[in-house]
Structure 1
């Protein structure tokens, strides 16, 4: 039904305090895309994953400081790709090749460095193998960058279990320090430019760096004062058996998660990977539940996990699951060979499963436009006397 008839509308609503998407949903969506990227080396599928992540970020990113970190992750991914290719050229590769592109002068190494070479032949096969490997790493970084750009770190901190609150504060402060510092640098450079002062050179960098560091120190002191005023660090009394049980469940659950994840990623452990992962997650959640009894903090306006959060998180999980299922019946399409060197194919069904990752761009609440892009209202006409 249309909105004019009073029925529910299928269009995504405008984002507000009451209907903001849960920050954990963005992270689960991004981790699903990252898991799908870890299952393939096909450059066409990896490029499609990067395109899906970039489109969702462009459609649902706000103008907050942490939302500007996506470009930095893209640059970091490109740097990783270039470094991987450079290492392959100068340090060689275990992939033998027949198509020699060029030959570099080889540096003789002592006997204790057997298996390592500097220079020598550079083949097309080893460069293509390094390109595929570097693209996978770059895609993983870009997916993590998408989560950083879309998820509000402060709201993510509110959603953490009580047992992880101390560690979560350190992680959130570390994640928000760099974006805030970048925004301070941009603000100070703009102010100097408006005053007619130079923004380049050693002197300008020193004059900009000192206020930035001073501002970072003032924010740290203000954060510590606000945490102390809110009673941060208070813990409730928990019996010793409960503490020991919490430690055992948490450590055992995390070990089970690691073993199950390895089983899912490795072909040899596909049989036991999923059960061990499920048992580990259940044990870890029980440990975190018990560990939360030490925390006596309260939450103001806790984020709700609604239907849209389920759709966003489910789309990422669906992409990861369908990509893993595609690798079981058509592994050659997901891992194009380099010996012999062949052009990568574009598998249809894995590509369609990746497109499910676009769902958050249509169901997540639409962020408010930046304040500088809002249309200016004309002043009211003067009242006639």
Structure 2
């Protein structure tokens, strides 16, 4: 008599597979997931929801990032976000705020300014309301940066370049080179700091920064020269001949579509433009896709092993879109919960169903293939 499979035998079937070149999540899916979280962060100033979004992004990065150089840039984006919050608070203290407040904390010496600088002050009274408002505002921007940092840590820039349509290949190369600059620089700095630490040399102070900066710039220059040589060897910049009418139509559709996408995205992000934002975004996407389709005729390059969008990739991208859509809907249904008041000061409350929707962003930590360093060993393999 056959026994029913127990939970121990079912566990390997439910576990995410180990990542390989054939089943890796496309870079575009990671970026859609991260942009969905960033859109959700832009719709709220509730620090509890922002902290939950940052926690979701951090958990997915910790569970699914690889050992590649660009995967180490997440910590730099977190520190950048904290720096942004600090700068926002300092500016609020020094330059004041338009938020009225009654709970005075302290008073700084005020510098008199000329008449043409009315509305701007240096120093003066600092209230608790203006500091809380600055904290909420800085936390929103920090959450946006951290979500973008999550995409930088999870998505392979080279694979993202392969996924771009032919019409955007030249622009995509410039964008990918710019995107890889920060992760590679962070990796170089960490490598040089480790080398100095092993040699017993100091890693802090102005002298150490100057001694580390020169090798970092030298490495960036060497990578630029190597990249230029590889692009020249691969025939970068070659284009096919297309009729002038097709070229003009492509330019008009692409430019008009991108303008529609920008206007629609602004409408979705702004609280007043939610009505016209979605139609403009959809119309812009259709026009831009048509223009990119026509513009692809100019490209004579081919794709080697193009990325496949399987069910796991769609789940990763869809989870980010779901978080963004839920937060936009919550902003229309209960805007007070997403934007806690500061005059008078009230403690922020965690809204339940927007928080539950944010937790849907954890889906990539379950369905995305495990990187090689995090792949678990099955019990029968340990025996």
Residue 62 of structure 1 deviates from its aligned partner by 0.8
Q: Could you tell me which of 350, 353, 362 is aligned with 1:349?
A: 353
Residues 33-65 of structure 1: per-residue CA shift (max 9 Å, x gap) = 011111111111111001000000000011111
Q: Does 1:41 align with 2:45?
A: yes
Relative to structure 1, the CA distance from residue 109 to residue 65 in structure 2 (aligned partners, 3 Å threshold; closer, same or farther) is: same
Asked if the contact 2:315/2:364 (under 8 Å) is kept, the reply is yes
Of the structure 1 ranges 178-187 and 249-258, higher mean CA displacement relative to structure 2 is found in 178-187
Q: Does 1:147 align with 2:163?
A: no
Q: Could you tell me which of 247, 264, 282 is aligned with 1:278?
A: 282
Asked if the contact 1:193/1:199 (under 8 Å) is kept, the reply is yes
Residue 225 of structure 1 deviates from its aligned partner by 1.7
Q: Does 1:332 align with 2:332?
A: no
In the aligned structure 2, how far is the partner of 1:7 from the partner of 1:343?
43
Residues 358-377 of structure 1: per-residue CA shift (max 9 Å, x gap) = 00000001001189xx9xxx
Q: Does 1:243 align with 2:243?
A: no
Q: Does 1:269 align with 2:273?
A: yes
Relative to structure 1, the CA distance from residue 2 to residue 65 in structure 2 (aligned partners, 3 Å threshold; closer, same or farther) is: farther
> Which residue is equivalent to 1:366?
370
The alignment's C-alpha RMSD in Å is: 2.5
Other structure's SS at 2:373 match = coil
Gaps of 5+ in 1: 375-385
Relative to structure 1, the CA distance from residue 252 to residue 98 in structure 2 (aligned partners, 3 Å threshold; closer, same or farther) is: same
Asked if the contact 2:240/2:299 (under 8 Å) is kept, the reply is yes
> Which residue is equivalent to 1:183?
187
Asked if the contact 1:243/1:291 (under 8 Å) is kept, the reply is yes
Residues 240-291 of structure 1: per-residue CA shift (max 9 Å, x gap) = 0011101110111111112212222334332222111100011011111111
Asked if the contact 1:2/1:8 (under 8 Å) is kept, the reply is no
In the aligned structure 2, how far is the partner of 1:193 from the partner of 1:274?
53
Residue 199 of structure 1 deviates from its aligned partner by 5.8
Other structure's SS at 1:9 match = helix
Residues 164-211 of structure 1: per-residue CA shift (max 9 Å, x gap) = 111111121122233323333443454455566666677766665544
Other structure's SS at 2:105 match = strand
Q: Does 1:304 align with 2:308?
A: yes
Gaps of 5+ in 2: 378-383
Asked if the contact 2:39/2:269 (under 8 Å) is kept, the reply is no
Other structure's SS at 2:236 match = coil
Asked if the contact 1:28/1:317 (under 8 Å) is kept, the reply is yes
> Which residue is equivalent to 1:377?
none
Asked if the contact 1:77/1:142 (under 8 Å) is kept, the reply is yes
> Which residue is equivalent to 1:86?
90
In the aligned structure 1, how far is the partner of 2:202 from the partner of 2:342?
52
> Which residue is equivalent to 1:73?
77
In the aligned structure 2, how far is the partner of 1:182 from the partner of 1:283?
38
Other structure's SS at 2:247 match = helix
Relative to structure 1, the CA distance from residue 272 to residue 370 in structure 2 (aligned partners, 3 Å threshold; closer, same or farther) is: closer
Relative to structure 1, the CA distance from residue 38 to residue 250 in structure 2 (aligned partners, 3 Å threshold; closer, same or farther) is: same
